[in-house]
Amino acid sequence: MPTSLLIFFTIVVALPVLGGFGVAIFQRWLQHKEKMGQLLAEQTAEKAAQYAAHVERIEARVRVLEQIATDRGVATAAQTEALRERPALNQPVPTHTSNAA
């Protein structure tokens, strides 16, 4: 087989075929990277929502503690006892006690 025919075959047939395969592989890789980026963004958004809910719960607890720390008199003792008697953390804490005695 003459060298010129081999060079012609390489330029006309082999390079375009290999280039086509290369482009297809590159496109597939880009699709994979895009999908991975979308999944990562979804996970990040979900974690951010979880952290926001957690921070909101902590802020509510801190408000209760601030109120107890700054309150004076009998109400402080009543609120402390109410916190001890609460079965679940998500129930509201009474802010005022009635002196019906």
pLDDT digits (tens, 9 = 90+) for 1-57: 688 888 888 888 888 888 899 999 999 999 999 999 999 999 999 999 999 999 999
Whole-prediction pTM: 0.46
| Cα→Cα distances 40→44, 49, 50, Å | 6, 14, 15
What is the reported pLDDT for 85? 77
Q: Which amino acid is at 45?
A: A
